[in-house]
Copies of this chain bind each other. A is one copy, B any other.
Amino acid sequence: MGASLLEGEDGPAVLMNGAGRSPYVIVCEHAGNRLPKRLGTLGLAAADLERHIAWDIGAEKVSRLLARLIDAPLVLQRYSRLVYDCNRPPESPDAMPMVSEVTAIPGNRDLTPAEKLARTREIYRPFHAAIADLLDARACDGIATSLVSIHSFTPVYKGKPRSVELGILHDRDTRLSARLIKSFPNIDARFNEPYGPKDGVLHLLNLHAAPRGLQHAMIEIRNDLIAQERGQDEWAQRLSVPLSQAQTN
């Protein structure tokens, strides 16, 4: 295989507050926009690496604040989704996209199987192993868990503005999402917008929550609302209300 992709660098997963006593475990797979040193800038300008295509703007901060407010464990992912989108399996062309929204990603062109496998083994798998480690330990301790992933979406996608403010995404199991949507009366909150299960965005929940029978939901916040500290505080506070209430199974 030769040198590893991340040799001498941090692994992808950051576990915070692992012993947190909330029934909720928070994950944020698009928290970071870091690139492995060996991949340079993927041929992109510095400004592109600050855009939504690289990460979920504001999501890490909201996740950290929320986890603190409700005393929940949190698993963050450090690397840009342009290197490996941890909410996609390696079977998906979106896992290592050649084009994101309308921007070509030169460093993802003509990847060899070995290059794809290195990203899969060193970013995708260890991040998901960190989540599984946490869920395994809680299960063996007899702690009931619900899994919530925190994301943000761009207010304008391919030139089209989006008015939805909060998306609550679910597939078959609607236990948690049905409860959550009632908690935001003054927000434009919608089920499965701006994406839904057909877009392949429920991979993380399909991988960890459904096979374990855990309640789960994916939260999508429009990123103009959480780009700054004030909005991050407001939204963490807002999300903490339903997630602080006793869990009903």
Residues of A at the B interface (CB closer than 8 Å) are 89-92, 113-114, 116-117, 120-121, 124-125, 129, 132, 135-137, 139-142, 172, 200, 203, 206-207, 210-214
Contact = CB atoms under 8 A, between A and B. Distances in A.
A139 B93 CA distance: 10
Given A211-B206, A213-B89, A213-B91, A140 B117 contact: yes
Nearest to A214: B91
Nearest to A139: B90
A90 B213 contact: no
B142 A113 contact: yes
Contacts of A116: 139-140
A206 B210 contact: yes
A142 B110 CA distance: 13
22 contacts: A89-B139, A89-B213, A90-B135, A90-B136, A90-B140, A90-B212, A91-B139, A91-B214, A113-B140, A113-B141, A113-B142, A116-B140, A117-B136, A120-B136, A120-B140, A121-B136, A124-B136, A129-B129, A172-B172, A203-B211, A207-B207, A207-B211
Contacts of A90: 135-136, 139-140, 212
Contacts of A210: 206, 210
Given A89-B212, A206-B211, A213-B89, A125 B117 contact: no
The 10 residue pairs across chains A and B that have the minimum distance between CB atoms: A116-B140, A90-B139, A117-B140, A206-B211, A89-B212, A207-B211, A91-B139, A113-B140, A113-B141, A91-B212
Given A203-B211, A206-B211, A211-B206, A117 B137 contact: yes
Which of A89, A135, A172, A211 counts the most chain B CB atoms within 10 A? Answer: A211
A135 B89 CA distance: 10
A125 B90 CA distance: 19
Nearest to A121: B136
